[in-house]
Amino acid sequence: MSAEPYQSSLNKLSLGGVLVSFGIIYGDIGTSPIYTLRFIVGSHVITEDLVLGGLSCILWTLAIITTLKYVVLALNADNKGEGGIFALYALVRKYKVAWIIIPAMIGCCTLIADGFITPAISVTSAVEGLRRLSPDITANAIVLIVLAILAVLFVFQQFGSSTVGKAFGPVMLAWFIFIGFFGAYNLASNPKILWAVNPMYAIRLLIEYPGGFWILGAVFLCTTGAEAMYSDLGHCGKNNIRVGWTFVLVSLLLSYFGQGAYLLSRAGKAIGSEEIPFFEMIPQPFMIFAVVIATLATVTASQALISGTFTLVNEAMKLRLWPSTRVRYPSRAKGQVYLPAINWLLMLGSSAVVFFFKESSAMEAAYGLAITVNMLMTTLLLVYYYWVGHHSRVRSVAMAVLFVLIEGAFLASNLSKFHHGGWFTFGIAFVFFTMMFTLRKARRMRDRHTDFVSLKEFIPTLKEMQNDLAVPKEASNLVYLAEADSKRFIDSTIIYSIFKKRPKRADTYWFIHIDTVDSPFTSKYSVDTIIPQKCFFVRIKLGFKADHRVNIIFNSILRDMEESGEVNLISPYPSLQRHKVPADFKFIIINSIASINSEMSAFDNLIIQFYRLIKKRSLPPQEKFGLELANVEVEQVPILVGPAAKVRIKRVHEDRELEKELKYANLNRPS
């Protein structure tokens, strides 16, 4: 199925599409009621100003950031039906603004860093509800239960989430009905809580309440997960997301306001460190069901985030912003990828968070900072998209002022928690950004110093060598992956490989260039015949979300060309032709490395050294291109990434020098 009809079908409103959005998109933001109000109240004595002010902040955050920014504005900035930080970057990079890649990389890194903390805090918050059932349960017991749940969750990733994913929508639907019902039940006991709709309560909390501004760090937790509405746009379609959000928003507000009503009944007291308002407001007979469904909902939220991280890293690899890592396709479902290295890294990171912080209240300090930065990066790209996209400049400026002001306040508040745990996710994001920056910088240095030569000049030599039996035959079909994107030119490194490093004779030469384009699921190719039946230039255009496995794509191209009579794929050897044995193919992958003769600045040299370290830990090129089963040779070819080092050496004639030395010795001999 082509991408266009698929995306068209997604945009059609359907009950099934809305149900899918519950499971894929609303898991993270949907489980925020478990812990948000708990962290807002903290150890403070419960007062009307604190509760009403906190609820007012939650309501207007969901209205302005989640609804206006993401549901209304971001969903309209789709890239052929796809959303997310890289889809947005692909929309605006055509304007050739150099800095635009920086917020995209920062956004990517902070989202991945969030993958280390979200499963930990979500599942821990749900399992802590067991304290209502068994007050004697120890913190260590809860840690072990959480670690066991996370282990099962990550181990099962390798089997794909398509089968289990069918249950995610109904689970989250049941969850939203559950939290909405018990929220309304508690709200009915104290309708006064509805006064929190007035934004003045939020303003007074921030200005007049002691330390009120710093409470924003906890308020922000109510909107974590909003980014999923945009990043998972391609899985559900904007109409289904918007209708689904209407139901989800009502359920969330009922839950928050119900908890607020419960807290007002405790006015003048402080909640205990192990008390969770979400579970406290639920009648005891329903507690077992509450803990079970909360755990299922947090597992669903974690699953959606893990799958989203796989997709994000896969896109970053295709944009050459992430080291090559193994990618598996556990099912035929669209967009289903599994990255083993990322999976186990997230598992170790999440488990370390649980083991180190132990309780969700301690994890709260590490949560939110990275996501605040991510939202700011999305705002920068979104404002720029509306600014250059022939939209109202006034609206673009208003967007920038409104969202940067609010998200900047959230960031400032979250920075106060840096030394309490915020350093954890910030540090992870910084490490990933350093890696991405190094890859981009090193590859740009390499691309800048990659030379291209006229292919036409070498065609006569190529023809002669194909007929020169004195040159050993390398393969019937020799395939090169080229950086050159036109049949008129070819990489000088490829010419060096064919003619100079070790002459390589073949019956047919193939030069393949792969373009990663801004349209997400583009998959098309063109073929230029350089020498009929003997040499071809193939240009492949693939979207940043499309399958990039070269072997599968190239085989499909060969079948097309064989059907059209352009090539004969039967072996050229007579003994094999009679049995219709397929022709042999050999792939040559050029690995350009910085020459030791290059003169570089200390910074560039550091970049190259770090780049080499990353490459050593990356997937081998043959696996990167899906050529594990093919005949592949990787060649190291040096290139100058700076001016060549100049060494001056003086030539001497030893006989003349010796004669001079003897003459000098004779003159100075004592008489």
pLDDT at residue 291 tops 70: yes
Q: Can you list the pairs that 354-359 forms with residues at least 24 positions away whose Cβ atoms lie under 8 Å?
A: 354/120, 354/124, 354/143, 354/146, 354/147, 354/150, 355/143, 355/147, 357/120, 357/421, 358/139, 358/143, 359/124, 359/128, 359/139, 359/142
Mark whether 581 and 458 lie in a shared domain. Answer: yes
φ, ψ (nearest 5 deg) of residue 336: -80, 110
DSSP H or E stretch at residue 636: strand 631-639
| The predicted structure's pLDDT at residue 526 | 92
Residue 662 has a pLDDT of 67
Tell me the per-residue pLDDT of 36-51, one tens digit each, with 9 for 90 and over. 999 999 888 999 999 9
* Residue 300 in domain: yes
**pLDDT at position 146 over 70:** yes
What confidence tier does 5 reach under pLDDT thresholds 50, 70, 90? very low
Locate tokens 């309501």: which residue? 59
Residues 432 and 459 placed together within one structural domain of the fold: no
Residues 100 and 22 in one domain: yes
262 and 372 share one domain: yes
Name the residue with tokens 């390398």.
474
Percent of residues, the chain, with pLDDT higher than 70: 90
State the residue for tokens 């690995």.
591
- The helix (run of H) or strand (run of E) holding residue 581 is none
Cα 418 off chain centre by = 24
> 373 and 494 share a domain?
no
Half-sphere exposure of 354 (CA within 13 A, CB side): 29
Beta strands per DSSP E along 486-618: 489-491, 505-517, 523-531, 535-543, 585-594
Could you tell me if 191 and 102 lie in one domain?
Answer: yes
Give the single-character DSSP code of 484: -
Domain boundary among 416, 440, 464: 440
Among residues 371, 362, 372, 374, the alpha carbon closest in space to that of 39 is found at: 362
Please answer whether residues 30 and 278 qualify as being in contact, where contact means their C-beta atoms are separated by less than 8 angstroms.
no
> What integer pLDDT is reported at residue 657 of this predicted model?
65
Task: Give residue-wise pLDDT tens across range 317-332.
Answer: 888 888 888 888 776 5
Please answer whether residues 408 and 373 qualify as being in contact, where contact means their C-beta atoms are separated by less than 8 angstroms. no
Stronger pLDDT, 296 or 500, i.e. the higher one: 296
409-458 confidence digits (pLDDT tens): 999 998 888 888 888 888 999 999 999 999 998 888 877 777 888 888 99
434 and 456 co-located in one domain: no
Asked if the structure places residue 261 within a domain, the reply is yes
Q: Are residues 113 and 87 in the same domain?
A: yes
Report in angstroms the alpha-carbon separations of 380 from 65, 298, 373, 374: 14, 30, 11, 10
This prediction has a pTM of: 0.83
Let me know if residue 665 belongs to a domain.
no
Is the predicted pLDDT of residue 598 greater than 90, yes or no? no
Q: How far apart are CA 86 and CA 217, in angstroms?
A: 27
| Any domain includes 445 | no
Which run of H or E residues covers position 473?
A: strand 473-481
Q: Over 149-177, what HEC string results? A: HHHHHHHHHHHCCHHHHCCHHHHHHHHHH
| Distances from the Cα of 276 to the Cα of 36, 124, 140, 432, angstroms | 10, 12, 18, 34
Q: Distance between CA 485 and CA 540 in Å, rounded?
A: 9
Q: Are residues 158 and 107 in the same domain?
A: yes
Distance CA 490, CA 530 (A): 12
Q: Is residue 227 part of a domain?
A: yes
Q: What is the pLDDT of residues 259-275, one digit of tens each?
A: 999 999 988 888 877 78
Helix, coil or strand: residue 280:
helix
Measured in whole angstroms, the distance separating CA 484 from the mean position of its chain's CA atoms is 27
Q: Is residue 644 part of a domain?
A: no
Domain of residue 425, CATH code: 1.20.1740.10
Quote helix, strand, coil % in the chain, to nearest 5.
Answer: 65, 10, 25
Average pLDDT score over the chain: 86
CB 318 within 8 A of CB 515: no
Please state the three-class secondary structure of 29-79 as a single string: HHCHHHCHHHHHHCCCCCCHHHHHHHHHHHHHHHHHHHHHHHHHHHHHCCE
Q: Higher-confidence residue: 247 or 168?
A: 247
* Digit-coded pLDDT (tens) for 117-134: 989 999 999 999 888 888
Domain boundary among 440, 466, 497: 440
| Owning domain of residue 202 | 3-440
Q: Is residue 430 part of a domain?
A: yes
pLDDT band at 596 (very low <50, low <70, confident <90, very high): low
pLDDT given at position 6: 45
Provide the domain count of the chain.
2
In a domain, 12, yes or no: yes
3-class DSSP assignment, residue 265: coil
Taking the alpha carbons at both ends of the chain, their separation in whole angstroms is 104
How many residues would you count in the chain? 671
Q: Write down the pLDDT at residue 283.
A: 92
Same domain, 234 and 328: yes
Distance of CA 123 to the CA centre of its chain: 22
The CA distance from 594 to 598, in Å, is 7
116, 350 in Cβ contact below 8 A? yes
Same domain, 436 and 485: no
The pLDDT value recorded for residue 1 is 38
Same domain, 371 and 340: yes
